[in-house]
Amino acid sequence: MEERDNETGNGYHEPARNGSGTTVVIFLAILAVLLALGGALLLRQLLSAKHDSQVAASEIRIVNDEKELLLIQLDELEERYSLLETTNQELETQLAAERRRVRQLRAQLHGEGGTGDGAGVEQYRERIEELEAQLETYRNQLEIAESENNVLTGENAQIRETLAQTSARNQQLESRTEELEEQVDKASILTISNLEGTALRERRRGDEPTDRAKRTDKIRICFTINENLVANPGNYDFFIRLINPLNQVMTLSPDNTLEFEGETIQYSLKRTVNFQNSSQEVCMVWDQDERFEKGYYNIVVFSEGREVGYKLFQLD
């Protein structure tokens, strides 16, 4: 009887041991699943971080490559400026100033280091494009200076003749209307010449020129609006931006601003001119109570949202 009871007792304890083993197995299985999920998440994060690092490195290489190309472009631009030669002292001074701007831009680009962002590179590219455009302007000025006056007169006569023929044949040339309108727009853009900045000293008998900063009381800026028989006669605004040797725009009010190439910039003087197609001289005077600084002064003239003139002069 006792033996049967022992056997019976052993029968009751056996299921308890089996249940404990099953719990451990389930626990280990759950733990393994959690470890697998955690490992998968960690692997995914590592792969994502590696991908982001590779993308960043690729972007840096692209920016650096673009900077190298810009430096090559600046070298070529400086060489092209050096090839421009002229006996005109005024124009040679302007070319020297532009060559300095090229060297300064190269130094700034070198100073950026080996890394940078696309926005910075784009700004350098825009400034290089401005220098290239200015180079073309100087080249055109040299060509005009070396040409005979009758060549320019002949070109103007040819433009007038072309416009007269276009008016007579307008119905027959409807397919070319858009192209001709574009040509007329370009021809109607006002240009200036003979841009000069003169420091003046006030005297009882009248103002007299000076090149000394401490004697300067005012600066007179004059230029000639070139004849343009294609432009519409009427009022045109001309803005002068006078920059002192401290690279500060000399202005009477912070509200004196104009729009240029998508930016709002300050100007120093403004004059509204009634243009009637023939050439005319325009002069403006900058007067201030403070003393004038020694060094180079930049004069930039704007009209109709375009830069139409640039001049550099020095006060000792």
300: β partners: 241, 310
Q: Is residue 291 part of a domain?
A: yes
The reply to whether 99 and 215 lie within a common domain is: no
| Domain enclosing residue 134, as ranges | 62-146
Whether residue 258 lies inside any domain: the answer is: yes
SS3 string, the chain, reads CHHHHHHHHHHHHHHHHHHHHHHHHHHHHHHHHHHHHHHHHHHHHHHHHHHHHHHHHHHHHHHHHHHHHHHHHHHHHHHHHHHCCCCCHHHHHHHHHHHHHHHHHHHHHHHCCCCCCHHHHHHHHHHHHHHHHHHHHHHHHHHHHHCCHHHHHHHHHHHHHHHHHHHHCCCCCHHHHHHHHHHHHHHCCCCEEEEEEEEEECCCCCCEECCCHHHCCEEEEEEEECCCCCCCCEEEEEEEEEECCCCCECCCCCCCEEEECCEEEECCEEEEEEECCCCEEEEEEEECCCCCCCEEEEEEEEECCEEEEEEEEEEC
Listed range (21-35, 112-126, 195-209, 254-268) with the worst mean pLDDT: 112-126
- Residue 218: how many CB atoms within 10 A of its CB? 15
Dist. CA 116–CA 64, nearest whole Å? 7
| pLDDT reported for residue 289 | 85
Same domain for 200 and 183: no
Q: Are residues 142 and 166 in the same domain?
A: no
Cβ atoms of 153 and 99 within 8 Å: the answer is: no
Question: What share of the chain in percent tops pLDDT 70?
Answer: 66
One domain, residues 126 and 218: no
Domain-located, residue 28: no
Other C-beta atoms lying within 10 Å of the C-beta of residue 286: 21
Residue 137, pLDDT score: 76
Which is higher by pLDDT, 4 or 284? 284
34 domain residue, yes or no: no
Specify if 19 maps to a domain.
no
Give whichever of 45-49, 62-66, 120-124, 222-226 has the largest mean pLDDT.
Answer: 222-226
Contact 66, 128 (CB under 8 A): no
pLDDT at 93 over 50: yes
How many angstroms separate the Cα of 302 from the Cα of each of 12, 68, 134, 245?
105, 33, 14, 20
* pLDDT exceeds cutoff 60 at 313: yes
Domain count for the chain:
3
249 and 161, same structural domain?
Answer: no
Is the domain of 200 the same as that of 308? yes
Other CB atoms within 10 A of residue 120 CB: 15
User: Is residue 148 pLDDT above 60, yes or no?
Assistant: no
Q: Is residue 41 part of a domain?
A: no
Q: What are the angstrom distances between the C-alpha of 72 and each of 66, 67, 68, 110?
A: 10, 9, 6, 12
Query: Of 90, 113, 146, which residue sits at a domain end?
Result: 146
Domain boundary among the residues 90, 123, 146 is at 146
Q: In this predicted model, what pLDDT tens digit does every residue of 61-87 receive, in sequence order?
A: 665 667 677 778 667 766 776 666 666
26-30, 38-42, 128-132, 181-185: which has the highest mean pLDDT? Answer: 26-30
Q: Is residue 308 part of a domain?
A: yes
Check whether residue 255 and residue 272 sit in a common domain: yes
The CATH number of whichever domain residue 283 belongs to comes to 2.60.40.10
Read off the pLDDT of residues 218-229 as tens digits, 9 standing for 90 and up: 999 999 999 988
**Do both 230 and 300 map to the same domain?**
yes
Percent of the chain clearing pLDDT 90 (strictly above): 24
239 and 176 in one domain? no
Same domain for 166 and 241: no
Tell me what pLDDT residue 178 has.
63
**Structural domain contains residue 6:** no
Q: Which of 146, 174, 199 is the last residue of a domain?
A: 146
Q: Do residues 295 and 181 share a domain?
A: no
pTM, two decimals, is: 0.44
309 and 199 share one domain: yes
